[in-house]
Structure 1
């Protein structure tokens, strides 16, 4: 549960950044959300818990993650509201990125740093969670994680406990698609004002493109983590003295 909550909290902290995968090779250059670095691990962990401890424990872990995320976001909002101390400043090596009126300049003309106002602005930009993002991420999180647990046990019943690789990838494929569509459709469309289907001069990237590329990467990661699922389940069963064998 601690690993799951850690990965989920990190996802909420880094997820607002968009980055370019393969920026120097245009045919494969795609825009992705940074949450893809951490969020796929949560599905890996829920599948391990589902297989070893059952759906009820996995669903409970999802609830723990939701509570932890809400607590983190509440604390961040409180901290952002605190008035910054005058001595809290941006270091000189980063101060050049701020407007002249926010820079602290020495008598010799060297930039010594940037003011506490600049530090507060940078902090807010980094950790501010818009209400829309919070709504989108939490809605997608609950829908996807609970769907993942449901689909995992659906495939398990269907295959009579066999083919772990099938229920792992089958459940993740459905839940990750649901998550990717929900969070990107809401956040990119209404917050970043990104066009959904047709690119424009100001916005050459569309929501559908981000959804498609993000989902493909998530799907590839899900396929690659299959050996880790077997290893993780084997480790947990051995560590907790559970049945050491399962059918693949």
Structure 2
């Protein structure tokens, strides 16, 4: 039985998608504690926007946003070939494993430290490794909860909008359903994270929440447009791997259509 599963190309492809999807989401969560300057990365002067009365806003973003666009691309690809149920399955799997990972991080934080390890990096400028470890892996519970809720809700929004657009357009306008669903779901994701983690968790004003949300969304909006060609490239590679007939049948099955 196992050999039959491994020989089935659509099954192998789905396993690969799921593994990458979960790993990418977990990495994004782990590196999300670091902020970077997009302007510095691009060699530009810092932006100086004013939104909702909040001045001197620039693109100081979490490193997680470097990877999250790939999640939404993967969502659209899986939705295209395997349907909404498959997207929900890998999304729930990712949420469960991310939650498990953070639980293990917190257990590791509270395990008693070795005296040798505590001072092992003093010569490298880290006098207390426990403090450093806590700073990297001990993200606030509000932020963890917010990111998980935002991820799950935005995935559901993405798959729903994608599927509704596809029902109207059929096989045409891949860019419309992929980019359109991503643009909406990214907005939902940005708002939920900021609302839960900082409005509820830290008492930010609505003006600050909306201003930072808009700055984050500007970046995500641009990336959604820029990465649209990746969908077409991925589809071409998938069709080459699976064959035209198989991909046609998978797409129709994903839409809930019976073969003629």
TM-score range, shorter chain: 0.7 to 0.9
Greater helix content: 2
In structure 1, C-alpha distance between the alignment counterparts of 2:130 and 2:226, rounded to whole Å: 41
Please report the RMSD computed on the Cα atoms of aligned residues, expressed in angstroms.
Answer: 2.0
Which one of the candidate residues 77, 87, 102 is aligned to 1:48?
Answer: 77
Structure 2, unaligned stretches of length 5 or more?
A: 1-17, 49-57, 252-260
Taking the TM superposition and a 5 Å limit, the aligned residue runs for 1:1-248 are: 1-23=18-40, 25-27=45-47, 29-88=58-117, 89-95=120-126, 114=127, 118-197=128-207, 206-241=208-243, 242-243=246-247
Q: Which moved more, 1:187-196 or 1:7-16?
A: 187-196
What is the distance in 1 between the residues matched to 2:185 and 2:32? 18
**1:194, distance to aligned residue in structure 2 (A):** 4.1
Q: Unaligned regions of 5+ residues in structure 1, if any?
A: 96-113, 198-205
User: Normalised by the size of structure 1, how large is the TM-score?
Assistant: 0.81
Offset at residue 57 of structure 1 (A)? 1.2
C-alpha distance in 1 between matches for 2:153 and 2:131 = 33
**Counterpart secondary structure, 1:26:** coil
Separation in structure 2 between the aligned mates of residue 74 and residue 8 of structure 1, nearest angstrom: 16
Aligned length: 217
In 2, distance between residues paired with 1:77 and 1:136? 17
- State whether residues 31 and 210 of structure 1, in contact with CA within 8 Å, keep that contact through their aligned partners in structure 2: no
TM-score (norm 2): 0.77
SS in 1 for 2:125: helix
Q: Deviations over 1:123-179 (max 9, x none)?
A: 011101322112211111111001111111111012123100000011001100000
